[in-house]
Amino acid sequence: MLPKLTALQWLGVNPPDDAYDLSFVADCPSLISVFLHDCNALSDLSALTSASRLKSVGLGNGRHLRDLHSLTELPNLKFLDIRNTPLADGLAAVTPILDRLEELSVFSVPTATSLGALAGSSLQEVDLADCPIADLAPLATLQFLTRVCLRDFPTMNLAPLATLPNLRDLELDGIDEPVDLSPFAQIHHRLRVKLWNTYTVGAAGPLVKIRRR
C-alpha cells in the first residue's frame, strides 16, 4: 500500500511519545501531497525529503517549527500551506524554497508581518489570512501573479494589485473596513472579484466582475 500512496493527511494524532515519526515516508516513493493538520509535536521536517516527488506540503499548528530549510531538498515542490505556525523569521523562512513555489497560503502566522520576502518571486497564487500584514506593495512585483485571496484583515489598500498584468481573480473575505475598488478602474484585463463579508467603495471599472456571497 505505502509504495502506491500519493496523498497523506495527518489529522492531529500524536504518537505516545509526543513526537512525530515520519520515517515511513521513505517507503512512499509515489507521494506527491502531504498535509499535517496538527503537527504541534513536530520540529524537524527532514523526513519529508525522502519523498522527492512531493509537490504539495501543508503544515498546521506547528508550534515547534521555526524554519523550512529542510524543504529545499524537494525539487518538485509547487504548493506550500502554513497555518498557525510561528516561523522565526516570518515569511523570510520561505525564501530558500521560493524559487520553485507557484502557490503559497499563509494563515494565522503571527510572525508574518511583511511580504517583502516574496518580492520579485514567480508565485502565481497567494492566499493570506489573519496575519499582521498591512502593506501589499511587495505583491506589485509579482508579475506572474494570477490570484490573490485576502481573509480576516482589519483593512487593506488594494492599489498595489491594480498594477499586476496577469491578475485574474481577487477574493476578499472578512475585511473589517470598506475596501476601495477604484484602483481597478483603469485596468486593461478582465478581473473577477469575489466578496464574502466585505463592503466596498469606489467604482471598479467595466472589466471588473464583482460577485458577492
Query: Which range is most confident: 14-18, 56-60, 177-181?
Result: 177-181
| Mean pLDDT within 42-68 | 88
Name 106's Cβ contacts closer than 8 Å, sequence gap at least 6.
Answer: 82, 83, 91, 112, 127, 128, 129, 131
In single-letter form, the type of residue at position 76 comes to N
Predicted confidence at residue 18, as pLDDT, reads 47
pLDDT at 13: 42
Rounded to an integer, the average pLDDT of 73-88 is 94
With CA atoms as reference, report the closest residue to 136 among 122, 155, 152, 110. 155
pTM: 0.91
User: Which position has the higher pLDDT, 81 or 46?
Assistant: 81
Helix %, strand %, coil % of the chain (to 5): 20, 25, 55
What is the distance between the alpha carbons of residues 179 and 160, in angstroms, rounded to a whole number?
Answer: 13
Q: Over the stretch 198-208, which tens digit does the pLDDT of each residue have?
A: 999 999 999 99
pLDDT, position 16:
43
Share of the chain above pLDDT 70, in %: 91
User: Residue 1: what pLDDT?
Assistant: 54
Indicate whether 14 pLDDT > 70.
Answer: no
Look at 23 and 74; give whichever has higher pLDDT: 74
What's the mean per-residue pLDDT of the chain?
90
Q: What's the rounded mean pLDDT across residues 116-121?
A: 97
Sign of the dihedral through C-alpha 81, 86, 91, 93: negative
| CATH homologous superfamily for the domain 2-212 | Ribonuclease Inhibitor (3.80.10.10)
Q: So what's the pLDDT on residue 67? A: 85
Cα–Cα distance for residue pair 126/106, rounded to 1 Å: 8
Lowest mean pLDDT among 88-92, 103-107, 167-171: 88-92
Q: Tens digits of per-residue pLDDT, 163-181?
A: 999 999 999 999 999 999 9
Task: Convert the pLDDT of each residue in 122-166 to its tens digit.
Answer: 999 999 999 999 999 999 999 999 999 999 999 999 999 999 999
All three cell numbers of 189, joined, read: 484585463
